[in-house]
Amino acid sequence: MKVIAGVDVGNSTTEVCISKIDNNGKFQFISSGISKTTGIKGTEDNVKGISAALNNALDKTNIRISDIDSIRINEAAPVIGDTAMETITETIITESTMIGHNPSTPGGEGLGLGITININDMNKADMNKDYVVIIPQSLDYEDASEKINLALKNKIKIKAAIVQKDEAVLICNRINTVIPIVDEIKYIEKIPLDKFAAVEVAKSGHTIKVLSNPYGIATIFNLNSEETKRVIPIAKSLIGIRSAIVIKTPEGEVQEKVIPSGKLLIKANNSTEKVDVDSGAEAIMSLVNRIEEIEDISGEAATNVGGMISSVKNTMAELTNENILDIKIKDILAIDTFFPKKVVGGLAEETFMENAVAVAAMVKTKKLPMDRIASKLSALTNIDVQVAGVEAVMATLGAFTTPGTKLPLAILDIGGGSTDAAVLHEDGLIKSIHLAGAGEMVTMIINSELGLSDRSIAEDIKKYPIAKVESLFHIKMENDEIKFFQEPLEARFFGRIVILKNNEMLPIYKDVNLEKIISVRKSAKERVFVQNSLRALKQIAPMNNLRNIPNVVLVGGSALDFEIPEMILSQLSKYKIVSGRGNIRSVEGPRNAVATGLVMSYVGN
């Protein structure tokens, strides 16, 4: 009787299966364990996570680590995701600065035009000019209101106000006229004085109309046709917000800078194909899918995509101690998305959403990184450690322990960084594919498109349903179900969108509505999980025809998702394919397929 441990090192988690095997090859599965993957998958940092997962499995048994005869680990290709931007004008136009600002409570309403002036200098104001007053943090709302009312009494024409503190409404309620007031301007000291400015605040429940229109800005600042064309990014960035400021600044203070997105260079069959990132994800993936076997992918120098690809290769070279020339990118997944871009010239850390292409890259090194992991783990445990098999093949063996399955059997293993697919035929032959792009990419897209700047919140939005707290005693679920509570909820939840994570609520403090979050989440999953699954299955299907695959078992952490299996089933049903979550060894659900397969492969082919 031998004790065998199968270890699956994934991008997010490391899973273990421990089994006893008798001399006749009969299995007795003992336990399983799981731990967070430490370091980037395929690097020696993984050993710490492997040890934790092994201990987690052994703690459930009376087996000691010294009782294990062999540890079998999977072959693993690291996958790194990053974003490559479409061509962007980083700043807006020469001779302007802008505040695309949307505080929760601006004051007043309307469009105000005038010369910027510090409120403490109102005694120097000219009665023949219109003014936009700048109110620094050193002045509270009562003093500011008093100064504005005094100036109005003295026939000084104040058309708008810009405030550093969060006091727009307080000032608005105390002055003798209605003017647009924008507050919470973090870098108010950077606003140039004695320059022409436009301030717009929309009515409650409405969005601005003039400053979000390029012709509106052109009218205000008397721009010619060429300047109007260049002002489009200003208008675009101000669409859908309630307040905004645009200020004319001296020539040369703000310079225009363009960084091209660049071209992807795909090497195969002794030739190199090129595709411009500006052409979008569809054109990129069309080229990728036409190439039978990619040798390497690089990016054009001095461009966004060139920098991204170089960063990925440099990171892997450092982690694996290999020459960067030996680092090859064997597959990419490109997805059209949006990315929050910081506005150069903005005064309150403003951002606007710009088109982008998100790219996940699968990196392959010249040496097998898992060999080094096996050596290090063997030295640590004093146990024979073998690199035993390709992930997708092992996952298929493990998936075959799901009740109700039969050959031929296809699997989809959707992990954190990669999507694996394989088909096991009745004659025992297995065809597999390992593609870039999975859960981490979905998290990245959700984080970008909702402008969260918080990857952990984006991860939770991906995994769990959301709801709107409509009172302290009830919430409205995203499926329109109303849930009531006996005890009042915490006041901080009132009016918020919350993530229903297990038995707790996590508030989302970003100003975004329920429908937007649901739409972005489902769209991200559709673009990455569903489309990449179809791409993988087509490459392993007999004659590349999906209709030749009768059934698909979903395995891996993403199969536990509350939406993904149904999304994939909906798409695969068009090809008359039966699909669903696996239940490995009747007890593990969709998890532990690769680790289980590694143990099963010990007895031979």
298-307, 455-464, 486-495, 532-541: least confident range: 298-307
Kindly report the three-state secondary structure assignment for every residue of 542-565. HHHCHHHCCEEEEECHHHHCCCHH
CATH topology (fold) of 81-88+258-364: Ribosomal Protein L22; Chain A (3.90.470)
Mean pLDDT of the region 487-514: 92
Whether the CB-CB separation of 277 and 304 falls below 8 Å is answered with yes
198-202, 234-238, 374-378, 379-383: least confident range: 234-238
**For the segment 78-111, what is each residue's pLDDT rounded down to a tens digit?**
666 555 544 433 333 334 556 666 777 899 999 9
Q: Return d(Cα 576, Cα 554) in angstroms, integer.
A: 16
Q: Return d(Cα 407, Cα 575) in angstroms, integer.
A: 18
> Which pLDDT score is estimated for 470?
95
> Which pLDDT score is estimated for 416?
78
β-bridge mates for residue 274, sequence order: 265
Residue 355 is encoded by which pair of tokens?
């088109």
Report which listed range, 12-26, 233-247, 300-314, 516-530, is most confident: 516-530
- Give the number of other Cβ atoms within 10 Å of residue 339's Cβ: 23
- Strands 157-163, 130-135: pairing is parallel
78-82, 474-478, 513-517: least confident range: 78-82
**For the segment 267-289, what is each residue's pLDDT rounded down to a tens digit?**
998 899 999 988 888 999 999 99
Mean pLDDT of the region 197-214: 89
What pTM did the predictor assign?
Answer: 0.73
Query: Please, which pLDDT band fits residue 604 given cuts at 50, 70 and 90?
Result: low
Mean pLDDT score across all residues of the chain: 86
350-364, 391-405, 446-460: least confident range: 350-364
Overall CATH class of domain 94-248: alpha beta
Burial of 22 (0-12, 13-18, 19+ CB in 10 A): exposed
142-to-105, 121, 173, 175, 179 alpha-carbon distances in Å? 18, 17, 10, 10, 17
H/E stretch holding 5: strand 2-9
Mean pLDDT of the region 560-570: 93
Whether the CB-CB separation of 217 and 200 falls below 8 Å is answered with no
Mean pLDDT of the region 319-334: 84
> Which pLDDT score is estimated for 341?
67
> Which pLDDT score is estimated for 581?
93
Radius of gyration of the chain (CA): 29
Sketch the domain layout of the chain as residue ranges. Answer: 1-77+369-403+585-605, 81-88+258-364, 94-248, 442-520
> Which pLDDT score is estimated for 377?
94
> Which pLDDT score is estimated for 251?
53
Mean pLDDT of the region 63-70: 94
CATH topology (fold) of 442-520: OB fold (Dihydrolipoamide Acetyltransferase, E2P) (2.40.50)
222-226, 375-379, 480-484: least confident range: 222-226
Residue 237 is encoded by which pair of tokens?
């960035």
Q: Is the pLDDT of residue 402 over 80?
A: yes
Residue (of 415, 405, 283, 400) closest to 362 by Cα position: 415
Q: Is the pLDDT of residue 524 over 70?
A: yes
Q: CATH code for 1-77+369-403+585-605?
A: 3.30.420.40
Q: Is the pLDDT of residue 522 over 70?
A: yes
> Which pLDDT score is estimated for 311?
80
